[in-house]
Amino acid sequence: VQIELDEFSDGRWPWWIAGPALGLLVVGFFLVSNQPLGASGAYAETAKVLTGRKDAVSWRVWYLVGIPVGGFLGVTVVGDGFEARTGYEPLVEAWNSNWVVGAVVLVGATVMGYGARMAGGCTSGHGICGTAQRSPASLAATGTFMAVAIATTFLLGLAGVK
């Protein structure tokens, strides 16, 4: 009950709306394009375009452009609106320096990107789209990154991150 009250008081869509909505987008994109919607692959194709390679799958770039556009609309229509901030307030509070937090975030994101490319997908690719296809590889990758992320967060808690 507490969780549901929180959801409505902080303006989030309840999980039973947002979750099925994501699920329907995945199914809808299969019906249109016969393709799954992993985000990390879209980064990889966009990186190819940015480095001048000719073999990029170009619709993926349009997909990656769509996400922040839709996100901005979502923040404006449903959320608290565009707000200039670091985005990492709990880390800044724990370590008291934007530079330290920036460096840690950059390293963390680099490891995340490397891992996603090695695993062949991320939370959207393996976690939702692959799992929805009942893919053994996606289920294994999802179970692994969930478990390691929970363990790493526990360790960060020991390092004073709230």
Partner 1 sequence: MQSSLGYKIAGLLFGAGFGFVLAAAKLHEYEVIHAMLRLEEAYTFLLMAGAIGVSMPLLWLLDRAKVTTLLGGRIALSRSKVTKANLVGGALFGAGWAVSGTCPGPAVVMLSSGAGLAVLTVLGLFLGLTLRDRQVARAGGSATIGDGEQRTASTGS
CB of 94 to partner 1, least distance (A): 12
Query: 115 — phi, psi (to 5°)?
Result: -65, -40
State which of positions 88-117 bind partner 1 (CB under 8 A). Answer: 88-91, 98, 101-102, 104-117
**Using the 8-state DSSP alphabet, how is residue 79 labeled?**
S
- Tell me the HSE value of 154 on the side-chain side, using a 13 A CA sphere: 6
Select from 67, 97, 100, 160 the one that contacts partner 1 (CB under 8 A).
67
Select from 1, 7, 93, 94 the one that contacts partner 1 (CB under 8 A).
7
Select from 8, 97, 100, 137 the one that contacts partner 1 (CB under 8 A).
137
Q: Is 20 in the site for partner 1 (CB under 8 A)?
A: yes
Q: Are 130 and 36 in contact (CB under 8 A)?
A: yes
CB of 96 to partner 1, least distance (A): 14
Residues 6+ apart with CB under 8 A from 43: 64, 113
Residue 77 corresponds to which amino acid?
V
State which of positions 27-56 bind partner 1 (CB under 8 A). Answer: 27-47, 50-51, 55-56
